[in-house]
Amino acid sequence: MGQVSNGWGVELNGPEEDQKAWRILLKPPFDPFVEEVKDERGDYLALRSSTFDGIATSKEVHRVAKRLFSTLNVAMSKNADTDPVTNGSVIEFVPSGLPRKHHYLEVEPATVRLHGGIVEMTLKDAQGNVIEPPAAPSRVQLWMRAEALQPEIGSALRYLAGKFGWFELYKAYEAVRNMPNGDISNSEIKRFTQTANAGERHHPNDKNKSHKRPMELWEARALITQWVSAAIDDILAKNP
């Protein structure tokens, strides 16, 4: 797992519960991680990542962060049922003095949804002393490691962002079609591709006839999510 060696971060914007989930699941020393920043205007959370290594300007950090947050939001949604967290100001950590904020205006659609959140468990011994568990990357951090090892995973995850439909599902399928799929049967794969290619669901083509038992959208979403997850597990198993 790579170490962060740059002086950049990006402020988290979004519901408090979702930011809390990012802080819980993205801890140092694993990459990426969330850091609490303190300055005279108040405390806030910032994402640190080796993805920002070698970047010289805040404008470029902002550009790279948009793609990184897009991938992370899907990983967080699939693993922790969170709503999207958006990238805010770029933070420049300077050797001496308070971090500097570089502001960039972003217009993002807002959604509000009730969900359970994440509970942090604390273990104590018989004397009441807190037992610190051994440091280990979260599943979200492992997914991001798989994305760094195989960029097609990142492509697939970004297609699964938001209210994705047949077009996005088929593009995600194309990204992982040559990777392990968690024992999805050939008949189900054919049912997915035939449904996706029929009519206006993917790209109209007279040669593509609808399957006799067309796949529902929710079924297709579950199938592709399973495929992407299996592909990630395979990459991580081969790169311990």
> Same domain, yes or no, for 119 and 159?
no
d(CA 183, CA 170): 18
Residue 2 within any structural domain of the chain: no
> Same domain, yes or no, for 83 and 159?
no
Q: What is the mean pLDDT of the chain?
A: 86
> Same domain, yes or no, for 93 and 17?
yes
Residue 138 within any structural domain of the chain: no
> Same domain, yes or no, for 179 and 118?
no
Provide the residue range defining the domain that includes 92: 8-124
Residue showing tokens 């051994």 = 134
At 118 the three-state DSSP class reads coil
pLDDT in tens, 103-130: 887 655 444 444 445 445 556 556 666 6
Q: How many domains does the chain have?
A: 2
pLDDT of 1 strictly over 80: no
> Same domain, yes or no, for 98 and 176?
no
Higher local confidence (pLDDT), 70 or 206: 70
> Same domain, yes or no, for 156 and 111?
no
Residue 232 has φ and ψ, to the nearest 5°, of: -65, -45
Which DSSP string do the residues of 27-55 spell out, in sequence order? -TTSSSEEEEEEETTEEEEEEE-GGGTT-
Residue 142 within any structural domain of the chain: no
pLDDT in tens, 129-161: 666 667 889 999 999 999 999 999 999 999 999
Helix 166-176 and helix 217-238, axial crossing angle in degrees, nearest 10: 20
d(CA 29, CA 20): 18
Residue 3 within any structural domain of the chain: no
Residue showing tokens 């990542």 = 49
Residue showing tokens 């604390």 = 122
